[in-house]
Structure 1
């Protein structure tokens, strides 16, 4: 069969058939009297073998080795091809992410596009200082996609860079909550911690309270504490048990006490908080440090009940507890009647 006939039946162009011949990949078995290439049935089968392997993504060099080298096994070649394809897909996914980030920024000119590309390159630096500089050096008037910053927050292990990213994200004017919410449900506890910290600083974004409330059920203590502090500042009473636990455990107890003070502005919640703290006092009669922390938390709360509890503690059998409680009673009594919650003065 002549080359033109082979091209028509196989779908492989005459130019490609000549290229196969030049490479020694598929050489026609014969020549006509006029010197034209003549392909045998075996040659045509080899052409289809080459085309099949090309459809898998193999290079012509790899195909030649596969067809000629007895030591080349299909399993080894396919394994190499899988690895190469996975690497290529990863590179293309990274490119797609960059393109989407640029599109999300709605650039009005090439300067904006170049700035986003520069930011992404900076965030991929191995230097923490370089990553932080890339975040903080954003010029005025350039919009940075919130999703890009949110993704960087979840991946950032350096605390200084992470802080800069959270700052930039909170001021980005975009909505990165969806990306961060996915991080809250990650199997990686470090990612969950980063996500909750970042969400806690996005006070104006919709959906924040819902995501933080879900995080109160996280199996990780640190995640629950971050969520409780943020929710307490937002007036969400569901954070009370975790906040009281933080006071007892001495983990962020000052911040927890302040959050409980915020929640106590609701009279109904104030009674609930006072009851919880008093119950903990009764449960830790032998632990001076815990009782002092509980007294410190009580002084943040309004009402006469708090003063009554502290006056009782001023006569506690533990001298350290009694001394601290006496000091707090003096502080409360020095406050104005409005601050003290006195009915009469």
Structure 2
């Protein structure tokens, strides 16, 4: 307790270092990383400093830094930059060692070994000078696909992993694959080859050659597409939608379930084309034409054929801040009125605009928002 005693005087300026640390039982402080280097990977909030501390602890490395990167599908993954003491540290070594202590989503999908970490003039690590990771085969040369099955597999792997070329001896996970991409792979294999592949087999048959051999001997199963349901006045809701609806009814004026986004646009904006683009999205996806109602004491959803969406356009007045305009834009939705989406544009100057959109969580989620933005 003597270490937690407050050494600061009331009223004096306090500086926060931004370092992440923890007290140890012996009274020492263990440095874990930086508070300003948090990142979200596959829906999990990660402190990269914690991953760095495990790399230093479990592998023979002198220095390391873990940096978030974006793959070809705009998904975030972790890349470890390592300065080793003696022998080279491979991605296989990294996955094998860290897999004993960390969950899979915290293990870097790429590793780059450097002689030294680049530094800025003031001695900090120069993140901008770190090279982009590139896949290099470890201990084997590239072997091209040898038959039609392996060629189809290569096309699927290259599309999912964003890596080219893929050889038959390459490992799915050493090419940057993870459990989420493995799930995508299962769907593609089912559609392409009419087989049902359990997730555990993706982890067992990790090389393309092993996976192709498994597919050759797997029993064929006709893939079943989800059929369109017959048109109805009302449709049932999911348990998640029911829960959101109940909470929203308890706080009808609340915005806890709003999902707003703001994007600054540079240059001239054609409002007519912008509105047509949003209207096309509403026309294409039923979620944006859905409203929610109580019928015979049961919550149901109704999908409308046509829903008009118009952009709320305004010019920024000198006396009103952009923050205030954004705050006023985010307001409660009435769940019985479609669309549960609104769009606004604030013009600051001829070449500076703010595009704002807000949607309710009962019709959308984080993955949907990413697709919407794309």
How high is the TM-score relative to the length of structure 1? 0.23
Q: Considering Cα pairs closer than 8 Å and 6+ residues apart, tell me whether 1 or 2 has the greater RCO.
A: 2
Q: Which has the larger radius of gyration?
A: 1
Which protein has the bigger helix share?
1
Which protein has the bigger strand share?
2
